Chains A and B, each alone.
Chain A
Amino acid sequence: MFKALNPILHSQLRLAIVSLLMSVENAEFTFIKEKTGATSGNLSIQIGKLKTAGYIEVEKSFRDNFPLTTCKITKKGIQAFEEYVQALEAYLQVGKK
């Protein structure tokens, strides 16, 4: 029996955000925007959804009088990502057979 793919992560941009945050301690909004190529509006919405799900922490501060948004993955986010990858692998194994 297949595990259903987590709908929060099975979205191109949200998965990209979580994948990026899995490999760094934290990342600024502009860094994520640069790497994903997403628009600011869309990125803000998807970050909001991930935050609501408890997968990432978002910290808002200021640097040189400019607003600075920093994102960091949570334990819950790490667990969800790992389960998502396991589920993906299971799908791909069946595809090979």
Chain B
Amino acid sequence: MESTKQWNEKESLHLIRSMVESTKYQIYQDRFLYFLWGYLTLGCAVAHYVSGYVLSYAHPYRVWMLMALGGVAHFVYLGRRKKHSKVKSYMGRVMAGIWGGMGIAIILVLFKAFTIGWEIAYPIFMILYGTASYATAMALKYRILMIGGIASSICGFIAFSQPFQYQLILLMVAVLTSYIIPAHLMKAKIPNN
């Protein structure tokens, strides 16, 4: 790009648009995190259901300890990404706020779950997943994630009146709709120029 080339007003506007477009936050860059949490939660829910209600294992909930590994993988991944990041965007901060806030809320509910009961905590988790997905979808205009967010929140709402066994199935549906399916459908945007 030259600095002194003669050019007209239309070209100026086109240049501004193309530069702004090139810095737009792409949800595709977060695809790994959606896969990580989506498949990990789905896997734990399936394992809990099968071991608890099919194999009648005495401590099926122990499988959820694997989620801590997800937390470690999450922070290692973000640490590496931050190291290689050349730009700090406003939308990046919005995303960090939405998902960081959801993470804090989940941890607080997790601690309280021992007293309020897990059959109350699980529906809250689903509603929190749904809320964060919906907020992200609205900010980034990603319709599939918006539908997934609403579906996850509805799953949470229904789960309040269901026995724990069915709550696990609803949780599987919630992560499929709000994490896994939207992540599979995310596409990388290729710049026009």
Contacts and interface: CB of A to CB of B under 8 A. Distances in A.
Contact of B16 (A19, A30, A36): A19
Contacts of A88: 9, 12-13
A23 B3 contact: no
B8 to A, nearest CB: 9
Contacts, number: 80
Nearest to B6: A12
Nearest to A64: B83
A35 interface: yes
A35 B90 CA distance: 18
Interface in A59-97: 85, 88, 91-92, 95
B121 to A, nearest CB: 36
B185 interface: no
Interface string A11-30: 11111100110111111101
Contacts of B189: none
Interface of B: 1-5, 7, 9-10, 12-13, 15-16, 19-20, 22-24, 86-90, 93
